[in-house]
């Protein structure tokens, strides 16, 4: 690093010259792009497997059962799997006696003990290494010590967990990828020479089966109607709208998208934010403030916690999804009022999530609404994971339970997951949303959502809703009177230039995606139980956590899955994202998966589960072959069987 | 022990059983390794001071009681808890009426919201407005270097779309780190001359996440009184000790640093992390920091410098590298350099550049990085392309500076008489304040009073409120009149929108111009001329 101003200046111009040279020959940074640009839409149609490399496992590139002559698939199999069997479909809907409570299944005692012992060992070893290392290799610890009058950026105590526990399994996290994170994903191979302190890319790639991305409806695609709509939008609108919504960045596309989102979720109005995390962190402070109370589920996402802290409101937490605990807390806080002064709370806002990202549990919405009638609090439902993924029409938890969405005061959700886009929305009454536009932090200060992202949101959402033929549609963007919900989108709700393929326009493709996701989710959850694993969550949840408990088995599971003949990438999570003892692997199902893909994952789990002694679930067990054969029966089975 | 008990007592069997079980317990106790030491200690301490045994016994009981006590507050705890019976609770529940969730907007806020222009089609230097279909000259949107609508960028974005799709479908930790994100991080680090950089998926959420990643309870933050809202929120979350110095006043900064140093020496205690947090070009008024002086002070007093270049990255310097390029200061001397990609490169997101230790720390501790999906790949590629364009064409920044000068020249006749411009002469962000009328509290006498009263570093507010006597809403209304007058004449400018009531210190109401290199000098002059006429029309009649 040059230190004097003069040498710095000359270094800058040198860097410029170098960058210009490389820019003229190949674009900087992304050399692979120049190749992909030659793939046109036409050549893709000729060969739907055009993304294949010679080195890719053919299992991932071509369907195991070859399509018959009358079957026409419009998707790239690697992005969105080909599956024509209509038996492998299901409807995501609440049954009258579905159980919503979250039950922690306890493993045998020796598993618990060995888990505690493992952590103890890791911690003792870590401290020992710190103790010895600080004395004999001080250079390696210089970032943890005060140097030259500067306190260290992170103290050795704060960073202990990261240095001594996470570092050991760093190869399971932050895996770089290239291309679409669809049904399959191409990972950039890494290796380490220094026990994970740094990881170098080897330059090779591996195509893997992807059961980890939040791509519930499989809209993460580089080909197809949505990608075409995004391309058209990029041509027309460019990349950015150059500013915050209240200043210089509102385009007609924002207005249109917000009206469509409001229709989709069944609210009067909606406001869109360019980042999912910021949707919570910047809009919650506009809802509550000093003298208000937020009652939050103990497993709520970090963005909710940050938003509540920004707002300055008081917070109380209740046991995850436990309606009795919530009622007891409500009775206490309403009767006690504010601390010390005992004044009434100005407002009480209960914040819950529709679907919890680490547990796969679904909120007990009927239970909460019953309490809401009695205790008069306001309700905020974060549908980050449930919108699009849950319900017969994909409209989230309200749709799933058959509840009028207007009974919920604020419906929040993200576009990152089911819609393959980015950002999020808040929907509610028109007056409330106007208040959020003016008083939320995003309005004056955060960049507006980029047009291509809006195009992805609008096109994917419209293909789930279906577009009503033009003559029945009304021309107003904001419905003045109540329209039936859930209904198709009127043609006027889409930009005129957006030409969706017929299967997306009539909603049949979206419907198919919803039904495929529902089947895949249920099949995976039920099959893992029948194999004998301990899983958490609701059977309709596309998030299926498989409990591993022991910290030593987590990286092993990850590596064994990745090193198989058909490589599978999984997400492993442990403390602090979960309680200490319940380390787990989290599967995220997608409509893009075929039944064969899930069988592949189940086969891998079965084998590794035996190897790692993971099968401690209770209940009847079936052998793998029987599960695969009787899959349809398994999915349609009664819950309590 | 019970040897004194008469053998004839009917309770004898009971005592016998007691004594034998006691001796068994004693045996077991002595079998535990190390128990001898404990017993010897207890005996000797009891012999020396029987009172101490009692005290220690109490201590043990207290420790057990504390451990058994639940850590969380529960029903019936705390001295302010009033216990009610079920019926009373039911009545209290029935009595309670909450306030409405959303505060209804005031008339002005409603008007203001409805008056936000909506662009029909793409935004750029000459967008078309949806309200009347007219094309306007744009001095409202952030398009400083004119990257909006660039055909190269579009082309690269479409290529990226066709390879990566739109969304990344995951947080960076779990298969959301795409190679193009890493490429952009490398590009921006290379562009600035730092070891590394990290890409956040929204500009606004960058600095508010960077600050709490490093600053913890007990650390010291020395910040400018007029930092932007994102920094205010970051400081709030960090829970650090904050000391404020007067806006853009290096003497005041030095005094504060000196006083913190004195305080620490007096109090002793361990060395804590210390940070100076400020902006390159201030979002609130367009003033520019004196970077060489900042670096000098931070090195002298051993602080780390967190510089938010949201409005200076991509807007000043020979090729748009920001304040470090403008002042010829190596960017590596700024410990955490935050930039806004959506403002500086007309794409999306934000970044923080610095040493690799600083960057890697954020990959685990930056909440909005960890808990959010990564940015759509095509936005990262567009940003990389933007950097390549800035590198290749330094003339863009020269044009921008020319346009900035043109605006100042055209507005010169009204500057100082009707309006004031606090912004730095080289800043492409130009704020315009209404010049206070002679009768207001900002008369020369009052200004002198403010200057001479010493500010308190522990409070963000000045002892004399500089806006005292200023009717903020009236000013906002006048400025909005100017904005609407300009729009009617084909020039789009905007008031700087604020979160009144939520900011630490209410910023002065202003019109904010964002000068762009995409407009020719003639067009810029024309736009400034329209603005000047509107200012004269609206403010002239006031006198």
**DSSP secondary structure of B226-249:** T--HHHHHHHHHHT-EEEEE-TT-
Residue A11 belongs to a domain: no
% of chain B exceeding 90 in pLDDT = 67
Q: Which residues pair with A379 in a beta bridge?
A: A350
B175 and A249 in contact by Cβ < 8 A?
A: no
Under DSSP, is residue A366 helix (H, G, I), strand (E, B) or coil?
A: helix
Q: From CA A148, how far away is CA B101, in angstroms rounded?
A: 52
Of the candidates B298, B310, B280, the one whose C-alpha atom is nearest the C-alpha of residue B205 is B310
What was the pLDDT predicted at A468? Answer: 87
Q: How many CA atoms lie within 13 A of A146 on its CB side?
A: 10
* B170 contacts A214 by C-beta, under 8 angstroms: yes
Distance from CA of B287 to the nearest CA of A (A): 18
Same domain, A514 and A598: yes
Could you tell me if A409 lies within 8 Å of chain B, comparing CB atoms?
yes
Q: From CA A323, how far away is CA A328, in angstroms rounded?
A: 9
Determine the residue among A53, A242, A327, A496 to mutate to test chain B binding: the one whose Cβ has the most chain B Cβ atoms within 10 Å: A242
B chain contacts of residue A277, beta-carbon cutoff 8 Å: 201-202, 205, 367-368, 371-372
* Rg (chain A; Cα; Å): 26
B193 and A15 in contact by Cβ < 8 A?
A: yes
A278 and B202 in contact by Cβ < 8 A?
A: yes
B chain contacts of residue A342, beta-carbon cutoff 8 Å: 80, 82
Of the candidates A263, A258, A257, the one whose C-alpha atom is nearest the C-alpha of residue A485 is A263
What was the pLDDT predicted at A328? Answer: 92
Q: Which of A468, A498, A518 is the last residue of a domain?
A: A468
Same domain, A449 and A529: no
Would you give the distance in Å from CA A100 to the centre of its chain?
21
A576 preceded by a cis bond (ω within 30 of 0): yes
Q: Which residues pair with B4 in a beta bridge?
A: none
B chain contacts of residue A170, beta-carbon cutoff 8 Å: none
Q: From CA A193, how far away is CA B2, in angstroms rounded?
A: 71
Rounded to a whole number of angstroms, the distance between the first and last alpha carbons of chain B is 104
Distance from CA of A630 to the nearest CA of B (A): 32
Q: From CA B321, how far away is CA B390, in angstroms rounded?
A: 9
Under DSSP, is residue A361 helix (H, G, I), strand (E, B) or coil?
A: coil
* Angle at B81 (CA atoms; ends B76, B85), nearest 5 degrees: 70
Question: Tell me: the pLDDT tens digits for B26-85?
Answer: 888 888 777 788 788 777 777 777 777 788 888 888 888 877 775 555 544 567 788 888
* Angle at B363 (CA atoms; ends B360, B367), nearest 5 degrees: 140
Q: What are the Cα distances from residue B269, in Å, to B29, B121, B211, B264, B302?
A: 44, 60, 23, 7, 17
Same domain, A605 and A522: yes
Same domain, A258 and A174: no
Could you tell me if A30 lies within 8 Å of chain B, comparing CB atoms?
yes
Q: From CA B114, how far away is CA B104, in angstroms rounded?
A: 15
What was the pLDDT predicted at B451? Answer: 57
Could you tell me if A336 lies within 8 Å of chain B, comparing CB atoms?
yes
Q: From CA A604, how far away is CA A567, in angstroms rounded?
A: 10
Interface of B with A in 93-122 (CB under 8 A): 93, 96-99, 101-105, 109-110, 112-113, 116-122
Of the candidates B170, B214, B332, B267, the one whose C-alpha atom is nearest the C-alpha of residue A182 is B170
Pick out chain A residues at pLDDT < 50. Answer: 1-2, 25-50, 52, 54, 472-476, 478-479, 641
Helical ranges in A137-224 per DSSP H: 160-161
Determine the residue among B166, B305, B494 to mutate to test chain A binding: the one whose Cβ has the most chain A Cβ atoms within 10 Å: B166
Under DSSP, is residue A359 helix (H, G, I), strand (E, B) or coil?
A: coil
Of the candidates A515, A497, A267, the one whose C-alpha atom is nearest the C-alpha of residue A390 is A515
Q: What CATH number corresponds to the domain at position A619?
A: 3.90.1150.10
Q: What are the Cα distances from residue A88, in Å, to A523, A622, A628?
A: 9, 20, 12
Question: Tell me: the pLDDT tens digits for B161-176?
Answer: 999 999 998 999 999 9
Residue A525 belongs to a domain: yes
Instruction: Give the chain A residue whose CA is nearest to the CA of B303.
Output: A150
Residue A460 belongs to a domain: yes
Same domain, A175 and A264: no
Q: From CA A491, how far away is CA A497, in angstroms rounded?
A: 11
Could you tell me if B176 lies within 8 Å of chain A, comparing CB atoms?
yes
Global ipTM: 0.89
**CB burial string B76-107: b at 16+ within 10 A, e below:** eeeeeeeeeeeeebeebeeebebeebbbebee
Under DSSP, is residue A378 helix (H, G, I), strand (E, B) or coil?
A: strand
Q: From CA A296, how far away is CA A186, in angstroms rounded?
A: 38
Question: Tell me: the pLDDT tens digits for B221-260?
Answer: 999 999 999 999 999 999 999 999 999 999 999 999 999 9
Structural domain spans, chain B: 107-147+395-436+455-541, 151-393
Under DSSP, is residue A293 helix (H, G, I), strand (E, B) or coil?
A: strand
**CB burial string A527-562: b at 16+ within 10 A, e below:** bbbbbbbbbbbbbbbbbbbbbbbbbbbbbbbbebbb
Instruction: Give the chain A residue whose CA is nearest to the CA of B167.
Output: A421
Residue A83 belongs to a domain: no
Under DSSP, is residue B403 helix (H, G, I), strand (E, B) or coil?
A: helix
How many structural domains are present in chain A? 2
Q: From CA A243, how far away is CA B492, in angstroms rounded?
A: 13
Could you tell me if B292 lies within 8 Å of chain A, comparing CB atoms?
no
Same domain, A290 and A439: yes
Could you tell me if B220 lies within 8 Å of chain A, comparing CB atoms?
no
* B397 contacts B321 by C-beta, under 8 angstroms: no
Same domain, A143 and A272: no
Q: Which of A414, A447, A468 is the last residue of a domain?
A: A468
Residue A398 belongs to a domain: yes
Fold of B107-147+395-436+455-541: 3.90.1150
Question: Tell me: the pLDDT tens digits for A334-387?
Answer: 988 888 888 899 999 999 999 999 999 999 999 999 999 999 999 999 999 999
DSSP states of A506-519 as a string? TSHHHHHHHHHHHH
Q: Which of A408, A443, A468 is the last residue of a domain?
A: A468
Q: From CA A631, how far away is CA A370, in angstroms rounded?
A: 36
Q: From CA B177, how far away is CA B169, in angstroms rounded?
A: 10
* B162 contacts A36 by C-beta, under 8 angstroms: yes
Residue A340 belongs to a domain: yes
Distance from CA of B50 to the nearest CA of A (A): 38
Domain that holds residue A585: 102-210+506-640
Interface of A with B in 581-620 (CB under 8 A): none
Could you tell me if B39 lies within 8 Å of chain A, comparing CB atoms?
no
Q: From CA B281, how far away is CA B194, in angstroms rounded?
A: 20
Instruction: Give the chain B residue whose CA is nearest to the CA of A22.
Output: B388
B165 and A143 in contact by Cβ < 8 A?
A: no
Q: From CA B187, how far away is CA A557, in angstroms rounded?
A: 35
Q: Over 80: is that where the pLDDT of B404 sits? A: yes
% of chain B exceeding 70 in pLDDT = 93
* A304 contacts A288 by C-beta, under 8 angstroms: no
The region, left, alpha or beta by phi > 0 then psi within -120 to 50, assigned to residue B149 is: left
pTM score, whole prediction? 0.88
Task: Report residue A349 as tokens.
Answer: 């806002």
A39 and B162 in contact by Cβ < 8 A?
A: yes
What was the pLDDT predicted at A149? Answer: 85
DSSP states of B133-161 as a string? --B-EESSS--TT--TT-HHHHHHHHHHH
Of the two residues B112 and B542, the one the predictor is more confident about is: B112
Fold of B151-393: 3.40.640
* Phi and psi at residue B494, to the nearest 5°: -140, 150
Q: Which residues contact A587 (CB under 8 A, 6 or more apart)?
A: A211, A212, A524, A543, A544, A545, A546, A570, A571, A601
Q: Which residues contact B183 (CB under 8 A, 6 or more apart)?
A: A28, A29, A30, B380, B381, B384
Could you tell me if B174 lies within 8 Å of chain A, comparing CB atoms?
yes
The region, left, alpha or beta by phi > 0 then psi within -120 to 50, assigned to residue A450 is: beta
Q: What CATH number corresponds to the domain at position A366?
A: 3.40.640.10
Q: From CA B502, how far away is CA B230, in angstroms rounded?
A: 12
Question: Tell me: the pLDDT tens digits for B129-161?
Answer: 998 899 999 999 999 999 998 999 999 999 999
Could you tell me if B384 lies within 8 Å of chain A, comparing CB atoms?
yes
pLDDT band at B363 (very low <50, low <70, confident <90, very high): very high
Q: From CA B192, how far away is CA B208, in angstroms rounded?
A: 21
Same domain, A304 and A402: yes
Q: Over 80: is that where the pLDDT of B334 sits? A: yes
Could you tell me if B393 lies within 8 Å of chain A, comparing CB atoms?
no
Size of interface A-B (CB pairs under 8 A): 435
């Amino acid at each position: 690093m040059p230190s004097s101003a003069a040498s710095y200046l000359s270094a800058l111009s040198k860097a410029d010259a170098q960058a210009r040279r490389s820019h003229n020959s190949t674009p900087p940074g992304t050399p692979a792009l120049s190749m992909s640009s030659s793939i046109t839409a036409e050549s893709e149609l000729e060969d739907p497997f055009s993304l294949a490399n010679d080195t890719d496992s053919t299992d991932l590139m071509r369907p195991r059962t070859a399509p018959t002559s009358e079957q026409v698939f419009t998707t790239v199999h690697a992005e969105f799997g080909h599956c024509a069997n209509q038996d492998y479909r299901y409807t995501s809907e609440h049954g009258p006696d579905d159980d919503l409570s979250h039950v922690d299944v306890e493993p045998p005692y020796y598993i618990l003990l060995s888990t505690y012992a493992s952590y103890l060992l890791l911690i003792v070893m870590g401290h020992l290494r710190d103790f010895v290392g600080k004395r004999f290799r001080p250079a390696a610890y210089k970032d943890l010590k005060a140097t030259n009058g500067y306190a260290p950026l992170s103290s050795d105590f704060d960073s202990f967990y990261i240095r001594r526990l996470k570092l050991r399994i760093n190869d399971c996290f932050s895996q770089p990828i290239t291309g679409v994170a669809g049904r399959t994903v191409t990972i950039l191979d890494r290796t380490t020479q220094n026990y994970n302190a740094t990881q170098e890319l080897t330059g090779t790639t591996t195509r893997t089966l992807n059961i980890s991305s939040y791509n519930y409806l499989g809209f993460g695609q580089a080909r197809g109607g949505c990608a075409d709509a995004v391309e058209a939008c990029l041509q027309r609108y460019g990349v950015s709208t150059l500013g915050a919504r209240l200043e210089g960045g509102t385009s007609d596309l924002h207005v249109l998208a917000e009206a469509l989102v409001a229709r989709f979720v069944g609210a009067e109005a909606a406001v869109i934010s360019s980042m999912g995390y910021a949707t919570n962190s910047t809009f919650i402070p506009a809802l509550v403030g000093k003298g208000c109370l937020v009652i939050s589920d103990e497993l709520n996402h970090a963005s909710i916690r940050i938003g509540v802290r920004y707002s300055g409101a008081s917070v109380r937490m209740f046991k995850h999804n436990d309606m009795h605990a919530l009622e007891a807390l409500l009775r206490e806080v309403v009767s006690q009022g504010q601390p010390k002064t005992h004044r009434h709370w100005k407002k009480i806002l209960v914040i819950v999530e529709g679907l919890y990202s680490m547990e796969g549990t679904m909120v007990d919405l009927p239970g909460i609404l019953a309490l809401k009638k009695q205790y008069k609090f306001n309700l905020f439902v974060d549908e980050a994971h449930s919108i699009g993924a849950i319900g017969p029409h994909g409209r989230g938890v309200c749709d799933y339970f058959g509840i009028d969405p207007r009974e919920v005061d604020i419906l929040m959700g993200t576009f990152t997951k089911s819609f393959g886009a980015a950002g999020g929305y808040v929907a509610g009454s028109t007056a409330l949303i106007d208040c959020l536009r003016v008083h939320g932090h995003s309005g004056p200060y955060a960049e507006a959502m980029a047009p291509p992202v809006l195009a992805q949101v609008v096109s994917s959402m419209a293909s789930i809703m279906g577009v009503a033929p033009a003559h029945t549609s009304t021309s107003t963007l904001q419905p003045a009177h109540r329209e039936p919900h859930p209904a198709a989108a009127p043609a006027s709700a889409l930009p005129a230039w957006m030409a969706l393929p017929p299967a997306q326009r009539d909603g049949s493709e979206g419907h198919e995606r919803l039904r495929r996701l529902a089947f895949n989710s249920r099949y995976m959850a039920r099959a893992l139980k029948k194999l004998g694993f301990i899983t958490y969550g609701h059977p309709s949840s596309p998030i299926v956590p498989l409990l591993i408990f022991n910290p030593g088995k987590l990286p092993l599971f990850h590596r064994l899955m990745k090193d198989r003949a058909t490589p599978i990438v999984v997400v492993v999570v442990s403390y602090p994202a979960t309680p200490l003892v319940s380390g787990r692997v989290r599967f995220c199902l997608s409509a893009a998966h075929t039944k064969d893909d899930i069988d592949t994952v189940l086969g891998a789990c079965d084998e590794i589960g035996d190897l790692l002694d993971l099968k401690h679930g209770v209940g009847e067990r079936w052998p793998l072959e029987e599960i695969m054969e009787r899959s349809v029966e398994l999915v349609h089975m009664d819950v309590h069987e | 022990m019970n040897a004194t008990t008469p053998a004839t007592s009917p309770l004898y069997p009971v005592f016998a059983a007691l004594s034998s079980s006691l001796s068994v317990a004693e045996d077991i106790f002595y079998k535990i390794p190390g128990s001898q030491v404990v017993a010897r200690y207890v005996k000797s301490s009891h012999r020396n001071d029987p009172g101490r045994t009692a005290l220690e016994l109490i201590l043990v009981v207290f420790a057990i009681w504390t451990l058994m006590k639940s850590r969380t507050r529960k029903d019936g705890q705390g001295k302010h808890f009033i216990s009610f019976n079920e019926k009373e609770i039911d009545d209290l529940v029935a009595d309670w009426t909450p306030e409405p969730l959303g505060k209804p907007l005031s008339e002005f806020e409603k008007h203001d919201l409805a008056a936000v222009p909506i662009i029909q089609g793409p935004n750029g230097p000459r967008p078309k407005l949806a309200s009347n279909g007219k094309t306007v000259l744009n001095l409202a949107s952030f398009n400083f270097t004119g990257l909006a609508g660039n055909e190269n960028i579009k082309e690269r974005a479409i290529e990226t779309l066709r390879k990566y799709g739109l969304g990344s479908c995951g947080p960076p930790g779990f298969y959301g780190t795409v190679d193009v994100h890493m490429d952009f991080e490398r590009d921006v680090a290379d562009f600035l001359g730092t070891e590394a950089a990290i890409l956040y998926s929204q500009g606004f959420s960058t600095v508010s996440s960077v600050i709490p990643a490093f600053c913890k309870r007990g650390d010291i933050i020395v910040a400018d009184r007029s930092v932007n809202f994102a920094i205010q929120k970051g400081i709030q979350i960090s829970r650090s000790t904050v000391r404020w110095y007067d806006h853009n006043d290096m003497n005041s900064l030095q005094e504060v640093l000196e006083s913190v140093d004195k305080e620490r020496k007096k109090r002793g205690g361990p060395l804590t992390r210390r940070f100076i947090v400020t902006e390159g070009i201030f979002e609130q008024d367009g003033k520019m920091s004196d970077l060489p002086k900042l670096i000098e002070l931070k090195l002298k007093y051993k602080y780390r410098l967190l510089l938010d270049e949201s409005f200076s990255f991509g807007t000043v310097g020979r090729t748009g590298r920001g304040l470090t390029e403008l002042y010829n200061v190596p960017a590596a001397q700024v410990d955490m350099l935050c930039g806004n990609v959506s403002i500086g490169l007309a794409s999306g997101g934000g970044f923080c550049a610095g040493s690799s230790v600083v960057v890697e720390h954020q990959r685990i501790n930056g909440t909005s990085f960890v808990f959010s999906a990564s940015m759509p790949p095509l936005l990262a590629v567009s940003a990389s392309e933007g950097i390549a364009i800035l590198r290749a064409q330094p003339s863009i920044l020269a044009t921008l500076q020319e346009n900035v000068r043109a605006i100042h020249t055209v507005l010169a006749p009204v500057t100082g008489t009707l309006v004031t411009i606090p912004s730095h002469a080289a800043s492409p962000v130009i704020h315009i304040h209404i010049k206070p009328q002679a009768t207001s509290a900002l008369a020369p006498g009052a200004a002198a009073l403010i200057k001479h009263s010493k500010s308190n570093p522990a409070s963000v507010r000045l002892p004399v409120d500089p806006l005292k006597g200023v009717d903020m809403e009236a000013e906002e209304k006048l400025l909005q009149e100017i904005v609407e007058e300009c729009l009617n004449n084909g020039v789009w400018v905007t008031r700087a929108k604020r979160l009144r009531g939520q900011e630490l210190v209410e910023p002065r109401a202003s019109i904010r111009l964002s000068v762009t290199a995409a407009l020719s000098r003639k067009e810029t002059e024309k736009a400034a001329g329209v603005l000047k006429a509107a200012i004269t029309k609206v403010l002239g009649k006031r006198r």
